[in-house]
């Protein structure tokens, strides 16, 4: 297949590109390199089936029609992530996550692609009433990031309904693995702990560490994207999770190291736990990497990460203070 991947230099996108190249597909990757890294894809430039293009998808003039010529599958992963920055810059997040999605949808529509797969976010559920949480749960986005990712998903489904574009939306739960970002002031808990591990710093655990997350290994997520693209199913939304949920205390125990406990941030769900009944039934997909196995894979490859600015206790306290500020 001829495949276009937005966010192809990012954490999940670069793993997806790896697998697509391994399977013999021809890849066009778009990335602005605000969160993606050239080092994730630089070695692929020698391959005849790969081209990397720097582009800001929120600017329609940078989403060139010729990028989509003869493209069969589009995987749309580009966008801005993290909660607090989205509260500080809701307009910027709207441009990246909503306008950017519309621009990619429009180009895909005119190119008459065969399948469009969207990286949605489980954050759309907010704090759900039921665990595990199914796709029919009430949508309760708490922050601009979650809201803009959900709006992007609604546009994807709208293009299916109005223009008959073949689409699938995958709501991802707590993805982790090699190449996850370990820099910046905000990020998922796994990123924070890994950065602290790299600098031999204690883990800053929010609250008592009993809160649980559905940690999903990145190669399982990649498999879900490709499975969705190959399927005849269209116009559907699927949860992508690990099939379990694990406490933060379990995570730090597996990574190994001293712990500092800091105040819990308001508005965070006590648990994320995907009901993956639908995707197992309809797409015949299931996760293959256990939580313990996934952590072991990450730790075996820990030398991959650069010695980036660490999440020190002072930075975590600042992030927590900002969180209280914006939610008060």
Give tens-digit pLDDT for 230-280.
999 999 999 999 999 999 999 999 999 999 998 876 667 889 999 999 999
Domain 176-213+244-272+289-327 has CATH 3.90.25.10: yes
CA distances to 120, 146, 226, 234 from 81, rounded to whole Å, are 11, 9, 22, 26
Angle between helices 11-22 and 218-230 (to 10 degrees): 60
Q: Please give the angle made by the CA atoms of 174, 138 and 268, to the nearest 5 degrees.
A: 45
CATH number for the domain running over 2-175+216-240: 3.40.50.720
Residue 303 has pLDDT above 80, yes or no: no
Q: Is 159 a catalytic residue?
A: no
pLDDT at 51: 92
CB neighbours of residue 315 within 10 Å: 17
CB neighbours of residue 291 within 10 Å: 22
pLDDT at 275: 98
Rg of the chain over all Cα atoms, to the nearest angstrom? 19
Mean pLDDT along residues 173-191: 79
Mean pLDDT along residues 290-306: 80
pLDDT, averaged across the chain: 88
Residue 152 has pLDDT above 50, yes or no: yes
Domain locations along the chain = 2-175+216-240, 176-213+244-272+289-327
SS3 183: coil
Please state the φ and ψ torsions of residue 122, each to the nearest 5 degrees. Answer: -70, -10
Q: How confident is the model at residue 307 (pLDDT cuts 50, 70, 90)?
A: very low
Q: What is the dihedral of CA 320, 84, 295, 262, to 10 degrees?
A: 10
DSSP states of 115-166: EEEEEEEGGGG-S-SSSSBPTTSPP---SHHHHHHHHHHHHHHHHHHHH---
pLDDT at 324: 45
Nearest to 217 by CA among 150, 152, 172: 172
Q: How confident is the model at residue 317 (pLDDT cuts 50, 70, 90)?
A: low
Q: DSSP state, 301?
A: T
Mean pLDDT along residues 298-321: 55
* Count, residues in the chain: 328
CA atoms within 13 A on the CB side of 133: 28
Q: Which of 93, 118, 143, 145 is catalytic?
A: 145
Residue 37 has pLDDT above 80, yes or no: no
Enter the tokens of residue 201.
């710093």
Give tens-digit pLDDT for 64-100.
999 999 999 999 999 999 888 999 999 999 999 999 9
């Amino acid at each position: 297949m001829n495949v276009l991947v937005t966010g192809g230099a990012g954490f999940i996108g670069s793993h997806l590109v790896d697998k697509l190249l391994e399977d013999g597909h021809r890849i066009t990757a778009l990335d602005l390199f605000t969160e993606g890294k050239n080092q994730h894809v630089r070695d692929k430039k020698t391959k005849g089936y790969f081209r990397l293009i720097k582009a800001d998808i929120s600017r329609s003039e940078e989403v060139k029609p010729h990028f989509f010529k003869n493209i069969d599958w589009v995987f749309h992963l580009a966008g801005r992530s993290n909660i607090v920055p989205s509260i500080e810059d809701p307009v910027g997040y709207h441009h990246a996550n909503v306008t950017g999605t519309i621009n990619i949808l429009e180009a895909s529509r005119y190119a008459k692609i065969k399948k469009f797969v969207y990286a949605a976010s489980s954050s759309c559920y907010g704090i759900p009433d039921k665990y595990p949480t199914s796709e029919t749960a009430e949508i309760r986005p708490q922050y601009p990031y979650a809201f803009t990712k959900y709006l992007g998903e609604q546009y994807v489904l709208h293009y299916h309904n109005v223009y008959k574009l073949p689409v699938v939306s995958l709501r991802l739960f707590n993805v982790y693995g090699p190449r996850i970002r370990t820099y910046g002031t905000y990020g998922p808990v796994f990123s924070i702990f890994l950065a602290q591990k790299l600098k031999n710093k204690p883990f800053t655990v929010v609250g008592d560490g009993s809160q649980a997350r559905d940690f999903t290994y990145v190669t399982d997520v990649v498999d879900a994207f490709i499975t969705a693209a190959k399927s005849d199913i269209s116009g559907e939304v699927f949860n992508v999770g690990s099939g379990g949920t694990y406490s933060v205390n379990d995570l730090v125990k597996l990574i190994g190291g001293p712990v500092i406990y800091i105040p819990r941030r308001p508005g965070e769900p006590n648990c994320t736990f995907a009901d993956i009944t639908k995707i197992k039934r309809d797409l015949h997909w299931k996760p293959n990497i256990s939580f313990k196995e996934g952590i072991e894979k990450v730790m075996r490859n820990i030398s991959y990460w650069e010695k980036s600015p660490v999440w020190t206790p002072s930075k975590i306290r600042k992030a927590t203070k900002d969180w209280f500020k914006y939610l008060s």
